Amino acid sequence: MLAYLDSFNYLHSILRYFILFFAVIVVLQSIVGMLGKRKFKKVNKQMALLLLIFCDLQLLIGGLLYYYKVIGGGVLSAPGLMKDTYRRFYGVEHAVAMVLAILLVHVGYSVTKRNIDDDRKFKRLFWCSFLALVIFMAMIPWPGKQLVGRPMIPTMTH
């Protein structure tokens, strides 16, 4: 199972770039749509859907990693969890924040299916996607981020 975990960890690290890419696209499309008083088009909904799909895939892989590495590794049951920056980040902060961000992506996408005016669709999609993007950027373990940082481009260990 450990070999699979390394593969899942690698995939989890790579998928963040797809999520960031589509989140930026959705945010920019929403800004252009709001400011330009544009019609909400199929491509706007498709970009939001791609963001949602990559987020859900990331959540699935992250959930597996969380189960095997955090829960299975005893991170949550070990004493001093909240005092240990590394364990607190991966055991609590990263997980909770990313689930919240993915919920925002889901709310944003649900707006694209509603029968409301285009300006309101763009505004709601913007705020949901923008807030999710801010959370993603803040909670990704970027290199140099104290004790929790990881490489920009991960490497396979085997």
Q: Could you give phi then psi for residue 54, rounded to 5 degrees?
A: -65, -35
Domain positions in the chain: 2-139
The model's pLDDT over 39-51, given as tens digits with 9 standing for 90+, comes to: 999 999 999 999 9
The model's pLDDT over 70-86, given as tens digits with 9 standing for 90+, comes to: 888 888 888 888 998 88
Query: What does each C-alpha distance from 84 to 3, 17, 97, 116, 146 come to in angstroms?
Result: 27, 28, 18, 47, 12
**pTM for the whole structure:** 0.89
CA gap 101, 107 in Å, rounded: 10
